C-alpha cells in the first residue's frame, strides 16, 4: 500500500521560498506521476503541478512563474519549491500519486493516494 508523507517548515516568512518534501513508500517513484495540491484554510483544492521521474513537469498556469517540482529517486522523494510567497499561499499542502494516462488523443490525471497534508503558514 502506497504511503506519502509531507515534511518541511510549517512557517515561512513573506517573500521567502516555501520548500516541502514528499517521501514515498510502498510504490516505485519511477513508475508514476506525482503531484502537489494545496488547500487554503476553509477553501477548496488547487492543483499546483505534477512531475515524472524523468524530470518532465507541468504546472498550474497561475503559479508557473513561482513553482519548481523536482525528484530525488535515490531517496524516493519529490519536492516543491514556491518562491516569493505571500499570505495567499497559506494552505495545507498535499502530495499525491497522480495516475496519469494518455490515449485517444487526450491525457487524463487523477489522484488515488494522498499524504496527510502539512499546514504552511506565511507570516509577515
Q: How far is the CB of 84 from another protein (least distance, A)?
A: 20
Is residue 23 within a helix (H) or strand (E), and if so which, with residue range? strand 18-25
The contact set with another protein (CB under 8 A) reads 35, 44-47, 50, 58-61, 94, 99, 106-112, 114-117
Q: How far is the CB of 81 from another protein (least distance, A)?
A: 19
**Residue closer to another protein, measured from CB, 55 or 61:** 61
97 CB neighbour count, 10 Å cutoff:
23
Q: How far is the CB of 46 from another protein (least distance, A)?
A: 7
**Residue closer to another protein, measured from CB, 110 or 121:** 110
Q: How far is the CB of 6 from another protein (least distance, A)?
A: 10
**Residue closer to another protein, measured from CB, 21 or 60:** 60
**Residue closer to another protein, measured from CB, 59 or 77:** 59
82, 52, 78, 39: CA torsion to nearest 10? 50
**Which of 24, 40, 44 is closest to 32 using CA atoms?**
24
How far, in Å, CA of 85 to CA of 19, rounded? Answer: 11
**Which of 62, 40, 58, 37 is closest to 48 using CA atoms?**
37
Amino acid at each position: 500500500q502506497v504511503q506519502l508523507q509531507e515534511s518541511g517548515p510549517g512557517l515561512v516568512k513573506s517573500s521567502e521560498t516555501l520548500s516541502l518534501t514528499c517521501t514515498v513508500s510502498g510504490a516505485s517513484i519511477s513508475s508514476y506521476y506525482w503531484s502537489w495540491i494545496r488547500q487554503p484554510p476553509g477553501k477548496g483544492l488547487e492543483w499546483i503541478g505534477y512531475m515524472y521521474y524523468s524530470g518532465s513537469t507541468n504546472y498550474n498556469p497561475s503559479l508557473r512563474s513561482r513553482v519548481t517540482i523536482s525528484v530525488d529517486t535515490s531517496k524516493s522523494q519529490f519536492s516543491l519549491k514556491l518562491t516569493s510567497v505571500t499570505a495567499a499561499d497559506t494552505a495545507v499542502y498535499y502530495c499525491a500519486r497522480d495516475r496519469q494516462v494518455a490515449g485517444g488523443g487526450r491525457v487524463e490525471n487523477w489522484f488515488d493516494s494522498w499524504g496527510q497534508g502539512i499546514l504552511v503558514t506565511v507570516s509577515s
